Amino acid sequence: MKGKLVIDGNSVYELDEECIRRRKDQDKEREKEGKNKESQRR
């Protein structure tokens, strides 16, 4: 599992890059579906 560490003052966060990639892919799919629905309405 790959991850990134983000240090913010005294706080440290670990970001799961695989999870971020999946979320971006899901967002792109939703955006495509939204555009397809708009074009069908016309």
pLDDT digits (tens, 9 = 90+) for 1-42: 677 999 999 999 999 999 999 999 999 999 988 877 666 665
pLDDT confidence of residue 32: 87
Residue 24 confidence (pLDDT): 95
Give buried/exposed letters for 2-41 (b at 16+ CB in 10 A, else e).
eeeeeeeeeeeeeeeeeeeeeeeeeeeeeeeeeeeeeeee
In this predicted structure, what is the pLDDT of residue 27?
94
Looking at the DSSP assignment, which residues form a beta bridge with residue 5? Answer: 14
Q: What is the reported pLDDT for 3?
A: 78
H/E element holding 1? Answer: none
pTM: 0.56
